[in-house]
Homo-oligomer: A and B are copies of this chain.
Amino acid sequence: MKLPKEDFYKLLVRPTVVISTISRRGISNAAPFSWNSPVAMKPVPLFGFSSNTRHDTWRNIRENGEFVVNLVGEDFGPLMSILERDFPYEVSEIKEAGLTEVEARKVRPPRIGEAFGWLECRMTDYLKLSERNVWIVGEVLEVEVKEGVMKEVVDVEKVKPLNHIWGESFVTQMKITKFPRA
On whether the beta carbons of A156 and B13 are closer than 8 Å, the reply is yes
* Residue of A144, A171, A181, A182 contacting most chain B CB atoms (<10 Å): A171
Q: Tell me the minimal C-beta distance from A8 to chain B in angstroms.
A: 5
On whether the beta carbons of A2 and B173 are closer than 8 Å, the reply is no
On whether the beta carbons of B169 and A13 are closer than 8 Å, the reply is no
On whether the beta carbons of B78 and A182 are closer than 8 Å, the reply is no
**One of B5, B15, B40, B154 near A50 (C-beta < 8 A):** B40
Q: Which residue of B lies closest to A133 (CB)?
A: B40
**A89 interface contact, C-beta 8 A:** no
Copies of this chain, how many? 2
**A137 interface contact, C-beta 8 A:** yes
- Neighbouring B residues of A78 by C-beta, 8 Å: 179-180
**A99 interface contact, C-beta 8 A:** no
- Neighbouring B residues of A119 by C-beta, 8 Å: 8, 11
Which of A19-27, A57-65, A80-88 lies at the interface? A80-88
| Alpha-carbon separation in the docked complex, A88 to B157 (Å) | 40
On whether the beta carbons of B40 and A37 are closer than 8 Å, the reply is no
| Alpha-carbon separation in the docked complex, A152 to B165 (Å) | 10
| Alpha-carbon separation in the docked complex, A8 to B141 (Å) | 10
- Neighbouring B residues of A180 by C-beta, 8 Å: 78, 80-81, 168
**One of B9, B14, B77, B135 near A135 (C-beta < 8 A):** B135
Q: Which residue of B lies closest to A132 (CB)?
A: B42
**A48 interface contact, C-beta 8 A:** yes
**One of B10, B44, B80, B153 near A10 (C-beta < 8 A):** B153
> Given A40-B50, A178-B169, is A45 in contact with B6 using a C-beta cutoff of 8 Å?
yes
